[in-house]
Structure 1
């Protein structure tokens, strides 16, 4: 695909610039899907197959698992856009599964691993980041992202780095 070749060229140029920096400055910030490293976003349109079903994005899978085993899970799976499914998943009109806080990191890890394994271009881009720190840079989320000011938990970035460290090249 031409789009994948274009992405690889952009990423390679970014990577070369990153490698000239000091190790503590080797930080890759991502958020917007149309920017370099945007493929790491849960809103990036890379479908995954998990639980015998196709999910349009990792966001679809993640949000739907808040309601696993209920009709709401399928309702969220079929949402038209990642933004719509995110909104639906945050609404509290549906009963959230009781163990959600305990399992949400594992659910995200599962979704991210599926995306990396099922899309070789993402695996390649993830491996190309070497030992750089990956940061979901957004003021919209201080758990999965950096909170916009670097003080958030950055769990999405941490999980991606964990997956990267476990990959074979």
Structure 2
């Protein structure tokens, strides 16, 4: 699926790699998920690529999100066989739990109301919009879905 994002649309462009942005997967807003503490969404996402505990622990022990990405990356590391089927769910769970753990960030996300959120990566056509704005923008889609869930929870309380 390709998503064309017109520059005329009311869209909020951001970087998922901006440490200062609470929405990003690298911001230092830790959370507990699956019975363990994760310093960033990136740590959790990278660790979940693996079935074995030693690879997961190595990612979790990384001092920064950048190091976690490096430990979890590489073509030669054997990823879990269902990774392509579950990676969006893994990212969604981490972002959602992070937002539930840090209400101040969730409030900022809710303040975007119905605005389209676009991960403005020039090179990433999967998580972002890509140079020509024809990427799938999966990270932006995840944020908008999480925003909808948070809004629903708020209206129910």
Range of TM-score over shorter length: 0.7 to 0.9
Runs of 4+ in structure 1 deviating by more than 3 angstroms, as ranges, are none
Report the equivalent of 1:47: 30
2:58/2:71 contact within 8 Å kept = no
- Distance across 2 between alignment mates of 1:148 and 1:121: 31
Q: Structure 1: where are the runs of 5+ without partners?
A: 1-23
Match of 2:138 in 1: 155
Checking the alignment, whether the CA contact within 8 Å between 1:72 and 1:94 is kept in structure 2 is no
Q: For 1:46 and 1:140, how far apart are their aligned partners in 2?
A: 26
1:69-84 pair list within 5 angstroms: 69-84=52-67
Aligned residues: 143
**Deviation digits for residues 130-149 of structure 1 (CA, Å, limit 9, x no counterpart):** 00001111123211111233
Let me know the Cα RMSD of the aligned residues: 1.4
Distance in structure 1 (CA, Å) of the matches to 2:119 and 2:76: 28
Query: How far is the alpha carbon of 1:95 from its aligned partner?
Result: 1.2
Deviation at 1:25, TM superposition (A): 2.8
- Contact preservation (8 Å) 2:43, 2:68: yes
Q: What corresponds to 1:15 in structure 2?
A: none
| Relative contact order, higher structure (CA 8 A, sep 6+) | 2
Which structure has the highest helix share of the two?
A: 1
Give me the TM-score of the superposition, normalised by structure 2.
0.85
SS at match of 1:40: coil
Q: CA deviation at 1:68?
A: 3.5
SS in 2 for 1:135: strand
1: CA distance, partners of 2:59 / 2:76: 13
Distance in 1 (CA, whole Å) between partners of 2:124 and 2:53 is 27
Residue 140 of structure 1 pairs with residue 140 of structure 2 = no
**Structure 2 equivalent of residue 98 of structure 1:** 81
Contact 1:134 1:157 in 2 (8 A): yes
Q: Does 1:25 align with 2:23?
A: no
Q: 3-state DSSP class of the match of 1:67?
A: coil
Shift of 1:126: 0.8
Find the aligned partners of 1:33 and 1:26 in 2 and give their Cα distance. 24
TM normalised by structure 1 equals: 0.79
